[in-house]
Structure 1
Amino acid sequence: MDRLFDLSGMTALVTGAAGGIGSAISHALARQGARLALSGSNPAKLRAFRDELNETYGHDHVEITCDLSDAEQVERLVPAAIDTLGKLDILVNNAGITRDNLVMRMKDEDWDAVIRVNLEAAFRLMRAATRPMMKARFGRIVTITSVVGATGNPGQTNYAAAKGGLTAMTKALAQEVASRGITANCVAPGFIRTAMTDVLPDAQKEALNARIPAGRMGEGAEIGAAVAFLASREAAYVTGQTLHVNGGMAMLS
Protein backbone atom coordinates (compact mmCIF):
# COMPACT_ATOMS: atom_id res chain seq x y z
CA MET A 1 0.00 0.00 0.00
CA ASP A 2 1.30 3.45 -0.92
CA ARG A 3 2.02 5.71 2.03
CA LEU A 4 0.29 9.09 2.26
CA PHE A 5 2.34 12.17 1.39
CA ASP A 6 5.07 10.12 -0.30
CA LEU A 7 7.60 12.52 -1.85
CA SER A 8 9.75 9.88 -3.52
CA GLY A 9 11.23 11.13 -6.80
CA MET A 10 10.61 14.76 -5.84
CA THR A 11 13.23 17.44 -5.22
CA ALA A 12 13.09 20.40 -2.86
CA LEU A 13 14.99 23.60 -2.12
CA VAL A 14 14.78 24.66 1.54
CA THR A 15 16.13 28.01 2.71
CA GLY A 16 17.39 28.39 6.27
CA ALA A 17 17.66 24.61 6.11
CA ALA A 18 20.02 24.03 9.03
CA GLY A 19 18.19 26.22 11.56
CA GLY A 20 15.72 25.07 14.19
CA ILE A 21 12.52 24.99 12.14
CA GLY A 22 14.40 24.61 8.86
CA SER A 23 16.14 21.43 9.99
CA ALA A 24 12.83 19.95 11.14
CA ILE A 25 11.27 20.75 7.75
CA SER A 26 14.26 19.22 5.97
CA HIS A 27 14.01 16.04 8.04
CA ALA A 28 10.28 15.79 7.30
CA LEU A 29 10.75 16.14 3.54
CA ALA A 30 13.72 13.76 3.43
CA ARG A 31 11.87 11.20 5.55
CA GLN A 32 9.09 11.20 2.95
CA GLY A 33 11.59 10.51 0.19
CA ALA A 34 12.43 13.92 -1.30
CA ARG A 35 15.98 14.83 -2.34
CA LEU A 36 16.96 18.20 -0.94
CA ALA A 37 19.07 21.22 -1.80
CA LEU A 38 19.83 22.74 1.60
CA SER A 39 20.46 26.47 1.58
CA GLY A 40 21.84 28.73 4.28
CA SER A 41 24.59 31.24 4.97
CA ASN A 42 26.89 29.08 7.13
CA PRO A 43 28.83 26.62 4.89
CA ALA A 44 30.22 24.47 7.72
CA LYS A 45 26.84 24.12 9.42
CA LEU A 46 25.20 23.27 6.08
CA ARG A 47 27.77 20.60 5.25
CA ALA A 48 27.39 18.97 8.64
CA PHE A 49 23.60 18.95 8.30
CA ARG A 50 23.82 17.56 4.76
CA ASP A 51 26.00 14.72 6.04
CA GLU A 52 23.47 14.05 8.80
CA LEU A 53 20.60 13.79 6.33
CA ASN A 54 22.58 11.64 3.92
CA GLU A 55 23.53 9.26 6.72
CA THR A 56 19.97 9.09 8.00
CA TYR A 57 18.00 8.91 4.74
CA GLY A 58 20.56 8.17 2.02
CA HIS A 59 19.13 10.42 -0.69
CA ASP A 60 22.36 12.21 -1.72
CA HIS A 61 21.25 15.62 -0.46
CA VAL A 62 23.31 18.68 -1.38
CA GLU A 63 24.07 22.07 0.16
CA ILE A 64 24.16 25.49 -1.52
CA THR A 65 25.43 28.48 0.43
CA CYS A 66 23.45 31.68 -0.12
CA ASP A 67 23.22 35.03 1.65
CA LEU A 68 19.58 36.03 1.22
CA SER A 69 20.42 39.69 1.83
CA ASP A 70 22.40 39.68 -1.43
CA ALA A 71 20.05 39.91 -4.42
CA GLU A 72 22.61 38.53 -6.86
CA GLN A 73 23.17 35.43 -4.74
CA VAL A 74 19.43 34.95 -4.39
CA GLU A 75 18.94 35.11 -8.15
CA ARG A 76 21.51 32.32 -8.58
CA LEU A 77 20.01 30.00 -5.96
CA VAL A 78 17.14 28.37 -7.89
CA PRO A 79 19.24 27.81 -11.05
CA ALA A 80 21.98 26.28 -8.88
CA ALA A 81 19.46 23.97 -7.21
CA ILE A 82 18.10 22.86 -10.58
CA ASP A 83 21.61 22.29 -11.95
CA THR A 84 22.40 20.10 -8.94
CA LEU A 85 19.10 18.29 -8.49
CA GLY A 86 18.09 18.10 -12.15
CA LYS A 87 14.68 19.68 -11.47
CA LEU A 88 12.80 21.53 -8.75
CA ASP A 89 9.42 20.29 -7.53
CA ILE A 90 9.22 21.98 -4.12
CA LEU A 91 10.37 25.39 -2.89
CA VAL A 92 10.26 26.05 0.85
CA ASN A 93 10.83 29.68 1.81
CA ASN A 94 11.77 29.21 5.45
CA ALA A 95 14.70 31.52 6.21
CA GLY A 96 14.02 34.68 8.16
CA ILE A 97 15.62 37.21 10.50
CA THR A 98 14.43 39.56 13.22
CA ARG A 99 15.54 43.10 14.08
CA ASP A 100 13.04 43.93 16.82
CA ASN A 101 12.37 47.35 18.26
CA LEU A 102 9.49 49.69 19.01
CA VAL A 103 8.51 51.60 15.90
CA MET A 104 9.68 54.95 17.37
CA ARG A 105 13.16 53.49 17.82
CA MET A 106 13.38 51.29 14.73
CA LYS A 107 16.19 52.26 12.40
CA ASP A 108 15.81 52.31 8.65
CA GLU A 109 18.49 49.65 8.30
CA ASP A 110 16.58 47.30 10.64
CA TRP A 111 13.42 47.74 8.58
CA ASP A 112 15.32 47.28 5.32
CA ALA A 113 17.19 44.15 6.47
CA VAL A 114 14.06 42.30 7.55
CA ILE A 115 12.10 43.21 4.41
CA ARG A 116 15.05 42.28 2.19
CA VAL A 117 15.61 38.83 3.70
CA ASN A 118 12.11 37.83 4.79
CA LEU A 119 10.01 39.25 1.93
CA GLU A 120 12.10 40.32 -1.06
CA ALA A 121 14.25 37.17 -1.15
CA ALA A 122 11.13 34.99 -1.05
CA PHE A 123 9.69 36.95 -3.97
CA ARG A 124 12.85 36.46 -6.00
CA LEU A 125 12.89 32.72 -5.27
CA MET A 126 9.20 32.35 -6.12
CA ARG A 127 9.74 34.19 -9.40
CA ALA A 128 12.71 32.02 -10.31
CA ALA A 129 10.97 28.76 -9.40
CA THR A 130 7.70 29.51 -11.16
CA ARG A 131 9.00 29.29 -14.74
CA PRO A 132 10.45 25.74 -14.58
CA MET A 133 7.47 24.59 -12.51
CA MET A 134 5.07 25.92 -15.14
CA LYS A 135 6.97 24.05 -17.86
CA ALA A 136 6.74 20.88 -15.79
CA ARG A 137 3.07 21.60 -15.00
CA PHE A 138 3.75 20.73 -11.38
CA GLY A 139 5.12 22.54 -8.36
CA ARG A 140 4.71 23.14 -4.66
CA ILE A 141 5.68 26.47 -3.08
CA VAL A 142 5.44 26.57 0.72
CA THR A 143 6.35 29.69 2.65
CA ILE A 144 6.85 29.87 6.41
CA THR A 145 5.13 32.94 7.77
CA SER A 146 4.15 33.48 11.42
CA VAL A 147 1.17 34.01 13.66
CA VAL A 148 2.63 37.52 14.04
CA GLY A 149 1.82 38.22 10.39
CA ALA A 150 -1.87 37.82 11.22
CA THR A 151 -2.08 39.21 14.76
CA GLY A 152 0.79 41.72 14.93
CA ASN A 153 3.21 41.92 17.85
CA PRO A 154 4.63 44.92 19.72
CA GLY A 155 8.21 45.64 18.71
CA GLN A 156 7.95 43.74 15.44
CA THR A 157 6.45 46.12 12.90
CA ASN A 158 9.10 45.13 10.35
CA TYR A 159 8.74 41.37 10.97
CA ALA A 160 4.92 41.51 10.99
CA ALA A 161 4.91 43.54 7.77
CA ALA A 162 7.19 41.02 6.06
CA LYS A 163 5.21 38.00 7.25
CA GLY A 164 1.88 39.57 6.37
CA GLY A 165 3.31 40.49 2.97
CA LEU A 166 4.34 36.88 2.39
CA THR A 167 0.77 35.74 3.00
CA ALA A 168 -0.70 38.25 0.55
CA MET A 169 2.00 37.54 -2.03
CA THR A 170 1.32 33.82 -1.77
CA LYS A 171 -2.40 34.35 -2.42
CA ALA A 172 -1.65 36.38 -5.53
CA LEU A 173 0.85 33.84 -6.83
CA ALA A 174 -1.53 30.95 -6.15
CA GLN A 175 -4.11 32.52 -8.46
CA GLU A 176 -1.55 33.03 -11.22
CA VAL A 177 -0.24 29.46 -11.34
CA ALA A 178 -3.09 27.21 -10.20
CA SER A 179 -4.06 26.19 -13.72
CA ARG A 180 -0.53 24.82 -14.29
CA GLY A 181 -0.62 22.32 -11.45
CA ILE A 182 1.33 24.55 -9.05
CA THR A 183 0.16 25.29 -5.53
CA ALA A 184 1.36 28.09 -3.25
CA ASN A 185 0.59 28.00 0.46
CA CYS A 186 1.87 29.24 3.81
CA VAL A 187 2.50 27.60 7.16
CA ALA A 188 2.24 30.02 10.08
CA PRO A 189 3.94 28.75 13.24
CA GLY A 190 3.08 30.02 16.68
CA PHE A 191 5.56 29.63 19.52
CA ILE A 192 7.86 26.76 18.55
CA ARG A 193 10.44 25.18 20.86
CA THR A 194 13.93 25.83 19.51
CA ALA A 195 17.43 26.27 20.90
CA MET A 196 16.58 29.96 21.41
CA THR A 197 13.43 29.27 23.45
CA ASP A 198 15.10 26.48 25.44
CA VAL A 199 17.33 29.03 27.20
CA LEU A 200 14.43 31.22 28.35
CA PRO A 201 13.81 31.37 32.11
CA ASP A 202 11.17 28.91 33.33
CA ALA A 203 8.91 31.75 34.42
CA GLN A 204 8.94 33.19 30.90
CA LYS A 205 8.23 29.77 29.39
CA GLU A 206 5.30 29.33 31.75
CA ALA A 207 3.94 32.75 30.78
CA LEU A 208 4.19 31.85 27.10
CA ASN A 209 2.50 28.48 27.62
CA ALA A 210 -0.33 30.15 29.54
CA ARG A 211 -1.26 31.98 26.30
CA ILE A 212 -1.58 28.71 24.38
CA PRO A 213 -4.69 26.53 24.82
CA ALA A 214 -2.59 23.41 24.12
CA GLY A 215 -0.52 24.38 27.16
CA ARG A 216 2.85 24.01 25.46
CA MET A 217 5.06 25.35 22.70
CA GLY A 218 5.04 23.49 19.41
CA GLU A 219 7.76 21.21 18.12
CA GLY A 220 9.69 21.77 14.91
CA ALA A 221 8.52 18.36 13.69
CA GLU A 222 4.92 19.62 13.82
CA ILE A 223 5.83 22.40 11.39
CA GLY A 224 7.71 19.88 9.25
CA ALA A 225 4.63 17.66 9.05
CA ALA A 226 2.49 20.58 7.86
CA VAL A 227 5.03 21.42 5.16
CA ALA A 228 5.29 17.79 4.05
CA PHE A 229 1.51 17.67 3.57
CA LEU A 230 1.39 20.88 1.53
CA ALA A 231 4.36 19.69 -0.56
CA SER A 232 2.69 16.39 -1.38
CA ARG A 233 0.73 15.29 -4.42
CA GLU A 234 -2.28 14.75 -2.15
CA ALA A 235 -2.45 18.51 -1.45
CA ALA A 236 -3.10 19.37 -5.11
CA TYR A 237 -6.44 21.05 -4.32
CA VAL A 238 -5.09 23.22 -1.49
CA THR A 239 -3.71 26.54 -2.69
CA GLY A 240 -3.61 30.14 -1.53
CA GLN A 241 -4.09 28.99 2.06
CA THR A 242 -2.33 29.58 5.38
CA LEU A 243 -2.13 26.60 7.71
CA HIS A 244 -1.84 27.96 11.26
CA VAL A 245 0.11 25.64 13.56
CA ASN A 246 -0.04 27.35 16.93
CA GLY A 247 -1.75 25.13 19.50
CA GLY A 248 -4.87 27.30 19.40
CA MET A 249 -3.04 30.44 20.46
CA ALA A 250 -4.74 32.42 17.69
CA MET A 251 -7.77 30.80 16.08
CA LEU A 252 -7.80 32.37 12.65
CA SER A 253 -9.94 31.53 9.64
Structure 2
Amino acid sequence: MPELIQGGSMSIRQDQVTDSTWTIGFDDKEERSGDALMDGAGERYRTLTTWLRGSLWLCGMVALLSFGCNLCLLLFLHGLEEGTVAEGDGMYLLVDKVIALKTLGAPVSILVTSFASVLSLRWFYLSHGFGRQHGLRLQQPARSTVMFYFIPVLNLWKPYLALREVFNEAVPCSGSRWLLPVWWGCWVLFQSLSWLAFRLVQDTDELVALMDMLLARLLADGAALPLLIMFMLVVRRLGTALLAMPSRAAN
Protein backbone atom coordinates (compact mmCIF):
# COMPACT_ATOMS: atom_id res chain seq x y z
CA MET A 1 0.00 0.00 0.00
CA PRO A 2 1.37 3.44 -0.79
CA GLU A 3 2.28 5.48 2.24
CA LEU A 4 0.62 8.79 3.10
CA ILE A 5 2.68 11.92 3.45
CA GLN A 6 1.03 14.00 6.16
CA GLY A 7 1.78 17.58 6.87
CA GLY A 8 -0.61 19.87 8.72
CA SER A 9 -4.10 19.33 7.41
CA MET A 10 -2.93 17.84 4.08
CA SER A 11 -2.30 14.21 3.21
CA ILE A 12 -0.87 13.28 -0.20
CA ARG A 13 -0.26 9.81 -1.47
CA GLN A 14 3.36 9.14 -2.30
CA ASP A 15 2.57 7.56 -5.67
CA GLN A 16 0.73 10.75 -6.69
CA VAL A 17 3.83 12.79 -5.91
CA THR A 18 5.98 10.38 -7.87
CA ASP A 19 3.65 10.36 -10.88
CA SER A 20 3.36 14.15 -10.86
CA THR A 21 7.11 14.58 -10.66
CA TRP A 22 7.62 12.10 -13.49
CA THR A 23 5.01 13.90 -15.62
CA ILE A 24 6.64 17.26 -15.06
CA GLY A 25 10.02 15.84 -15.98
CA PHE A 26 8.57 14.30 -19.15
CA ASP A 27 7.03 17.65 -20.17
CA ASP A 28 10.37 19.35 -19.63
CA LYS A 29 12.03 16.80 -21.90
CA GLU A 30 9.42 17.40 -24.60
CA GLU A 31 9.90 21.16 -24.32
CA ARG A 32 13.67 20.83 -24.55
CA SER A 33 13.29 18.48 -27.52
CA GLY A 34 10.99 20.97 -29.27
CA ASP A 35 13.45 23.78 -28.60
CA ALA A 36 16.27 21.67 -30.01
CA LEU A 37 14.28 20.93 -33.15
CA MET A 38 13.42 24.62 -33.50
CA ASP A 39 17.07 25.59 -33.03
CA GLY A 40 18.08 23.05 -35.68
CA ALA A 41 15.53 24.39 -38.15
CA GLY A 42 16.63 27.93 -37.41
CA GLU A 43 20.27 27.01 -37.95
CA ARG A 44 19.46 25.39 -41.31
CA TYR A 45 17.43 28.42 -42.34
CA ARG A 46 20.25 30.77 -41.30
CA THR A 47 22.78 28.74 -43.30
CA LEU A 48 20.53 28.71 -46.36
CA THR A 49 20.04 32.48 -46.10
CA THR A 50 23.79 33.02 -45.95
CA TRP A 51 24.39 30.84 -49.00
CA LEU A 52 21.61 32.60 -50.89
CA ARG A 53 23.04 36.03 -50.19
CA GLY A 54 26.45 34.87 -51.37
CA SER A 55 25.00 33.48 -54.59
CA LEU A 56 23.16 36.76 -55.19
CA TRP A 57 26.45 38.63 -54.89
CA LEU A 58 27.92 36.33 -57.53
CA CYS A 59 24.91 36.94 -59.77
CA GLY A 60 25.44 40.66 -59.35
CA MET A 61 29.06 40.41 -60.46
CA VAL A 62 28.06 38.29 -63.46
CA ALA A 63 25.35 40.79 -64.42
CA LEU A 64 27.79 43.68 -64.09
CA LEU A 65 30.34 41.90 -66.27
CA SER A 66 27.68 41.10 -68.87
CA PHE A 67 26.52 44.72 -68.83
CA GLY A 68 30.05 45.95 -69.55
CA CYS A 69 30.61 43.45 -72.36
CA ASN A 70 27.29 44.22 -74.04
CA LEU A 71 27.91 47.94 -73.75
CA CYS A 72 31.32 47.56 -75.41
CA LEU A 73 29.86 45.50 -78.26
CA LEU A 74 26.99 47.93 -78.75
CA LEU A 75 29.36 50.89 -78.96
CA PHE A 76 31.51 48.98 -81.43
CA LEU A 77 28.56 48.18 -83.69
CA HIS A 78 27.36 51.76 -83.44
CA GLY A 79 30.81 52.89 -84.54
CA LEU A 80 30.69 50.54 -87.50
CA GLU A 81 27.32 51.89 -88.50
CA GLU A 82 28.48 55.49 -88.24
CA GLY A 83 31.81 54.75 -89.91
CA THR A 84 33.90 55.98 -87.00
CA VAL A 85 35.64 52.64 -86.47
CA ALA A 86 38.25 51.77 -89.08
CA GLU A 87 39.84 48.41 -89.75
CA GLY A 88 43.00 47.84 -87.80
CA ASP A 89 41.75 50.08 -85.01
CA GLY A 90 42.46 49.11 -81.41
CA MET A 91 38.73 48.72 -80.92
CA TYR A 92 38.86 45.48 -82.90
CA LEU A 93 41.36 43.99 -80.46
CA LEU A 94 39.20 45.04 -77.53
CA VAL A 95 36.11 43.51 -79.11
CA ASP A 96 37.95 40.23 -79.68
CA LYS A 97 38.82 40.10 -75.99
CA VAL A 98 35.25 40.95 -75.03
CA ILE A 99 33.85 38.18 -77.24
CA ALA A 100 36.33 35.70 -75.76
CA LEU A 101 35.35 36.81 -72.27
CA LYS A 102 31.66 36.37 -73.03
CA THR A 103 32.32 32.92 -74.48
CA LEU A 104 34.19 31.82 -71.37
CA GLY A 105 31.77 33.52 -69.01
CA ALA A 106 28.60 32.03 -70.50
CA PRO A 107 28.94 28.61 -68.75
CA VAL A 108 29.88 30.31 -65.49
CA SER A 109 26.86 32.59 -65.78
CA ILE A 110 24.54 29.63 -66.35
CA LEU A 111 25.95 27.75 -63.36
CA VAL A 112 25.78 30.74 -61.02
CA THR A 113 22.26 31.66 -62.12
CA SER A 114 21.02 28.08 -61.80
CA PHE A 115 22.57 27.72 -58.36
CA ALA A 116 21.03 30.99 -57.17
CA SER A 117 17.63 30.00 -58.59
CA VAL A 118 17.64 26.67 -56.75
CA LEU A 119 18.64 28.37 -53.50
CA SER A 120 15.95 31.03 -53.99
CA LEU A 121 13.21 28.45 -54.46
CA ARG A 122 14.45 26.50 -51.46
CA TRP A 123 14.54 29.69 -49.42
CA PHE A 124 10.99 30.61 -50.47
CA TYR A 125 9.75 27.19 -49.39
CA LEU A 126 11.57 27.16 -46.05
CA SER A 127 10.47 30.71 -45.27
CA HIS A 128 6.85 29.59 -45.45
CA GLY A 129 7.53 26.45 -43.43
CA PHE A 130 9.58 28.31 -40.82
CA GLY A 131 6.89 30.97 -40.55
CA ARG A 132 4.14 28.40 -40.06
CA GLN A 133 6.14 26.78 -37.25
CA HIS A 134 6.02 30.09 -35.42
CA GLY A 135 2.29 30.55 -35.82
CA LEU A 136 2.08 32.83 -38.85
CA ARG A 137 -1.34 32.75 -40.49
CA LEU A 138 -0.44 32.06 -44.12
CA GLN A 139 -3.11 31.39 -46.73
CA GLN A 140 -0.89 30.90 -49.78
CA PRO A 141 0.55 27.35 -49.98
CA ALA A 142 4.31 27.09 -50.06
CA ARG A 143 4.17 24.83 -53.11
CA SER A 144 2.74 27.64 -55.23
CA THR A 145 5.95 29.59 -54.72
CA VAL A 146 7.96 26.81 -56.32
CA MET A 147 5.44 25.43 -58.81
CA PHE A 148 4.34 28.69 -60.42
CA TYR A 149 7.94 29.82 -60.82
CA PHE A 150 8.22 27.60 -63.90
CA ILE A 151 5.02 28.85 -65.57
CA PRO A 152 5.88 31.76 -67.91
CA VAL A 153 3.04 34.15 -67.08
CA LEU A 154 2.09 33.11 -63.56
CA ASN A 155 5.69 33.39 -62.37
CA LEU A 156 5.29 37.16 -62.57
CA TRP A 157 2.57 37.21 -59.93
CA LYS A 158 2.05 34.02 -57.89
CA PRO A 159 5.49 33.85 -56.22
CA TYR A 160 5.15 37.52 -55.34
CA LEU A 161 1.82 36.89 -53.59
CA ALA A 162 3.28 34.07 -51.50
CA LEU A 163 6.37 36.05 -50.55
CA ARG A 164 4.34 39.17 -49.78
CA GLU A 165 2.13 37.22 -47.40
CA VAL A 166 4.94 35.80 -45.30
CA PHE A 167 6.83 39.11 -45.43
CA ASN A 168 3.86 41.16 -44.19
CA GLU A 169 3.17 38.65 -41.42
CA ALA A 170 6.76 38.29 -40.23
CA VAL A 171 8.17 41.80 -40.57
CA PRO A 172 6.70 43.97 -37.81
CA CYS A 173 7.95 47.29 -39.18
CA SER A 174 5.77 48.79 -41.90
CA GLY A 175 8.68 50.90 -43.12
CA SER A 176 10.08 47.89 -45.01
CA ARG A 177 6.89 47.11 -46.92
CA TRP A 178 8.08 49.14 -49.93
CA LEU A 179 10.81 46.57 -50.65
CA LEU A 180 8.47 43.96 -52.10
CA PRO A 181 6.65 46.19 -54.65
CA VAL A 182 9.96 47.59 -55.89
CA TRP A 183 11.44 44.10 -56.12
CA TRP A 184 8.38 42.86 -57.99
CA GLY A 185 8.55 45.79 -60.44
CA CYS A 186 12.21 45.04 -61.15
CA TRP A 187 11.33 41.35 -61.57
CA VAL A 188 8.62 42.09 -64.16
CA LEU A 189 10.89 44.52 -66.01
CA PHE A 190 13.78 42.05 -66.07
CA GLN A 191 11.60 39.19 -67.31
CA SER A 192 10.08 41.36 -70.05
CA LEU A 193 13.44 42.61 -71.29
CA SER A 194 14.93 39.11 -71.19
CA TRP A 195 12.03 37.78 -73.24
CA LEU A 196 12.44 40.64 -75.74
CA ALA A 197 16.17 39.94 -76.09
CA PHE A 198 15.45 36.25 -76.62
CA ARG A 199 13.00 37.06 -79.41
CA LEU A 200 15.47 39.43 -81.07
CA VAL A 201 18.20 36.78 -81.07
CA GLN A 202 16.21 34.85 -83.68
CA ASP A 203 16.63 37.67 -86.21
CA THR A 204 20.16 39.06 -86.02
CA ASP A 205 21.18 38.80 -89.65
CA GLU A 206 21.32 42.56 -90.10
CA LEU A 207 23.47 44.99 -88.16
CA VAL A 208 20.49 46.98 -86.89
CA ALA A 209 18.77 43.84 -85.57
CA LEU A 210 21.97 42.81 -83.82
CA MET A 211 22.20 46.23 -82.20
CA ASP A 212 18.59 45.99 -81.06
CA MET A 213 19.27 42.62 -79.48
CA LEU A 214 22.35 43.96 -77.68
CA LEU A 215 20.38 46.97 -76.49
CA ALA A 216 17.64 44.74 -75.08
CA ARG A 217 20.24 42.54 -73.40
CA LEU A 218 21.99 45.63 -72.04
CA LEU A 219 18.74 46.92 -70.55
CA ALA A 220 17.99 43.48 -69.08
CA ASP A 221 21.40 43.40 -67.40
CA GLY A 222 20.79 46.91 -66.13
CA ALA A 223 17.45 45.83 -64.66
CA ALA A 224 19.07 42.76 -63.07
CA LEU A 225 21.29 44.90 -60.84
CA PRO A 226 18.50 46.71 -58.91
CA LEU A 227 16.53 43.45 -58.93
CA LEU A 228 19.35 41.65 -57.13
CA ILE A 229 19.86 44.54 -54.71
CA MET A 230 16.17 44.61 -53.80
CA PHE A 231 16.05 40.84 -53.41
CA MET A 232 19.10 40.87 -51.13
CA LEU A 233 17.38 43.47 -48.95
CA VAL A 234 14.23 41.34 -48.85
CA VAL A 235 16.21 38.22 -47.93
CA ARG A 236 18.08 40.05 -45.21
CA ARG A 237 15.00 41.71 -43.71
CA LEU A 238 12.76 38.65 -43.83
CA GLY A 239 15.49 36.27 -42.68
CA THR A 240 16.29 38.49 -39.70
CA ALA A 241 12.61 38.76 -38.77
CA LEU A 242 11.96 35.02 -38.98
CA LEU A 243 15.05 34.10 -36.99
CA ALA A 244 14.14 36.65 -34.31
CA MET A 245 10.63 35.25 -33.86
CA PRO A 246 11.56 32.56 -31.27
CA SER A 247 13.23 35.17 -29.06
CA ARG A 248 10.24 37.50 -29.42
CA ALA A 249 7.90 34.65 -28.53
CA ALA A 250 10.02 33.80 -25.51
CA ASN A 251 9.98 37.39 -24.31
Same fold, TM-score > 0.5, yes or no: no
TM-score by length of 2: 0.30
TM-score by structure 1 length? 0.29
Structure with bigger strand share is 1
Between structures 1 and 2, the one with greater helix share: 2
Which of the two has higher C-alpha Rg?
A: 2
